[in-house]
Structure 1
Amino acid sequence: MSISEELNIVLGGLRSAVPEITAALIATTDGLPVAHSLSSGDPNRLSAMAATALGLGKRICETYGGGEFKENTVSGSEGQMFIYSAGGKAVLGVITKTGGNVGLIHLEARDAASKIATILNRGM
């Protein structure tokens, strides 16, 4: 099975586990899309923004002495985007409807981010 297929399985499993997830993407830390399940929106633009948010989160953690960056959240009136570090090579972006079970979203997305890191570390 190819790396791309493995990553798409992880994204599919994440979306199946949490019905409130409307889209998910994996991008490199440079902002290039690797895999996504977007039905709308530009994966190139969202990948670049997710990587930028990851970089900003890392810098904020460094500045205030918060240790290693793990995740951040962007909340809007109609939904949220959760951004997770997926090892040193990638970022996982998860887009949800407003009012989702944040605990379940974090639980499943953190697990997915760990799987993504393992797949990419093995394949690169």
Structure 2
Amino acid sequence: MSNPKELSATIEEYLEAIYRLEEKKGSARTGDIAKELNVTLGTITNTIESMEKQRLVSHKPYRGVNLTRRGRQIALDVIRRHRLSERLLTDILSLEWSKAHDAACRLEHAIADKDIVEPLEKALGKPKTCPHG
């Protein structure tokens, strides 16, 4: 899996969660990832191993998980798609923000193709923020 379009929605969610935890805490401990994603530690272990094989993260036992350069790049792309999805849902479709966030979580994985993302960004006026700031 070398192409971000080939990554599963699950892997993309992990990348987002690890990114957020790194921003808050410097690294992401497996327990924090499990809590963030509402999954078990066993699930975390298997997924992190898979992500390491794909060179998306590095994991040092008892020190946590960190994104590789490639993992960080993909995480930022997923976050961008999430924010664009929220803007589409709130600005164009007038969906309430409380509903838009969950819908954007699903939509962000479906619009991985730059042939969709770039025109969407242009149509939305290249927004600099998401609906909630």
What's the TM-score once normalised by structure 2's chain length? 0.34
Q: Which has the larger radius of gyration?
A: 2
Task: Compare the two structures and name the one with the higher helix fraction.
Answer: 2
Task: Compare the two structures and name the one with the higher strand fraction.
Answer: 1
Q: Highest relative contact order (Cα 8 Å, sep 6+), 1 or 2?
A: 1
